Amino acid sequence: MVAVIAGAGRGLPPPIRQDEIWSGYFAAHYQGPARALAQRIFANAGVVTRHAAVSPLLEDVSQWPTARRMERYLVEAMPLAKEAAGAALADAGLPAGELGLLAVCSCTGYATPGLDILLARDLGLAADCRRLFVGHMGCYAALPGLSAVADAVTVHQRPALLLCTELASLHVQAPTVETGQIVAHALFSDAAAAVVVTPGSGGYEVVRVASLTDPATADHMTWDVTDLGFRMGLSPRVPEVLASHVGGFVTELLAGAGIGLDQVDGWAVHPGGPHILDVVERELALPGEALADSRGVLADHGNCSSPTVLLILERLRKLGRRTVVAMAFGPGLTLYAAVLHHRPPTHPLTPPIMS
């Protein structure tokens, strides 16, 4: 028996155009030499539209203490999480009470009782439904989450739901000349995305999941809890490190799945930024259109951290892509990837009509 992605859903806050968020907030947020740098970064981020549960056009959270941000996190995250989870269950045609596992990924907020417990209550999960919370893994969290969920489904033969919810808008920082922080402000967005994984056929089979961590570069990407929210640290060397690993990593991933690069017709590559996608495209010698959906999600939604790869996967599923590589990167530096292959539903044989 295999584990397949049988349904998907998402929840998005109201959209904001990138040029509006620049002119309406960040143009005044940054002053002096930092302003010209920030304007160039915002203009070249590859983002046209973003989503903000807490819009900087309406509320300036840059001086909020972390406690206040965490209180707001739960208020804003729950409706998005319920929308995404409910849509995924409906898409899979599965009642919530049949779930054997609910896994939640989030690095932008913490609360107890958390999203997992409150969703179990509001969605009507069974009392014996197990829960797993994956925190602070960042942009690649959906893939270890998917791996854990697929393993559980295979072993226990019960459906599971994976939910990724992030509210980066709660972590706007005070003005700085630090390039990495400006890049974070130019890219990150809010979203919730969910998938239902079931035993059997009819969806994307989780064929293989792999990871690679380079601990020597652990300081290249950080997400620190401070008194004024969570602060991103981002080294300009991240693309260089990614370039040194991604080719061999993907070669081994595909070899383990028994397929060649030419058999992959869908790429769900996390758009950490336009340069990241350029590096992956170059190192894998992909055709120009291979990462069009990754670039499209970046343009339409920004970098939503952990939900982003699921948003790309949803696009690829609607396009009918059969063999997909989903890949994301984050603190570690860590590369995570999964090979997914579409399996058509199988139907039991209809018994003959006896006369």
105, 107, 129, 139: the catalytic one is 139
Q: Are 77 and 167 in contact (CB under 8 A)?
A: yes
- Judged by DSSP in three states, 9 sits in strand
Q: 207 pairs with which residues across the strands?
A: none
Q: Amino acid letter at 264?
A: V
Q: 338 pairs with which residues across the strands?
A: 209, 326
Q: CB-based contacts of 50: which residues, under 8 Å, 6+ apart? A: 15, 16, 17, 18, 21, 189, 190, 301, 302
Closest CA to 21 of 41, 6, 1, 2: 41
Pairing between strand 49-51 and 221-226?
unpaired
Six token digits for residue 14: 């109201």
Q: How far apart are the C-alpha atoms of 129 and 158, rounded to whole Å? A: 10
Q: CB-based contacts of 249: which residues, under 8 Å, 6+ apart? A: 210, 212, 335, 337
**Residue 214 — left, alpha, or beta (φ > 0 → left; ψ -120 to 50 → alpha)?**
beta
Closest CA to 102 of 85, 83, 80: 85
Q: Are 28 and 69 in contact (CB under 8 A)?
A: no
Q: CB-based contacts of 155: which residues, under 8 Å, 6+ apart? A: none
Q: Are 187 and 47 in contact (CB under 8 A)?
A: yes
Residue 129 annotated among the catalytic residues of the structure:
no
Phi (first) and psi of residue 144, to 5 degrees: -65, -30
Q: Are 328 and 139 in contact (CB under 8 A)?
A: yes
Q: How far apart are the C-alpha atoms of 200 and 4, rounded to whole Å? A: 7
Q: Amino acid letter at 186?
A: A
Pairing between strand 160-167 and 101-106?
parallel
Where in the sequence numbering do the catalytic residues fall? 139
